[in-house]
Structure 1
Amino acid sequence: MEQTLVELAYKAADDKRAEDIVVLDMKGVSLIADYFLICHGNSDKQVQAIARELKDTAEENGHTVRRLEGFDQARWILVDLGDVVAHVFHKDERGYYNLERLWGDASLVEVEQS
């Protein structure tokens, strides 16, 4: 079975030990993307490793990475995969931006892990 883009992104983040991975269903809430994946790492290097894994996994599976922003600063890296936008935070920044609360109208998505 082919994995959906959101499942691929979740697994890529999980493979690099991303913490507190949350997927929000943005359909009907935002025109930006169908899903937001939000997670964090505990160091600059881990945040970059998570973002790099998201990018590489998407490309290896035939998906286009539209944008990658914030990589050098590693505080909040945005990986735009089209239907899925991943937000990879440094743990110190995640609570400050609190995207889960900001997009509180979006429902949480349970992602099956294989």
Structure 2
Amino acid sequence: MPTITLPDGSSRVFEDPVSILEIANDIGAGLGRATLAGEVDGQLVDAAFMVEQDCVLRIITDRDAEGLDIIRHSCAHLMAQAVKTMFPEAQVTIGPTIEDGFYYDFPLSKRAFQRQT
């Protein structure tokens, strides 16, 4: 029966293990829609993480610095997958998030850009 303590000092008790997303939805539908991840006892976890014991929880949304980093990281992976789909010979190398976005380096020959007929 986990007791979840929130940043404002309030707490919620759940009868069974509960995911970060379920907790957010219990607080409010808007927060549930905005939830990207959680911070459980200081450790960043994804929204599907199951809380099984008492903890301190901070819900991460796009308004948090960590949330923006999560979005950028996910977008970088999506872009890499799209490039690999379009150019299978492309090598996915480094693709970090940076202060104002993200990037990926893709070593690719000029031939890869030529249209096959």
Fold shared by both chains (TM-score > 0.5): no
TM normalised by structure 2 equals: 0.26
Q: Which has the higher contact order (CA 8 A, sep 6+)?
A: 1
Q: Work out which of the two has the higher radius of gyration on C-alpha atoms and give 1 or 2.
A: 2
- Give TM-score scaled by structure 1 length: 0.27
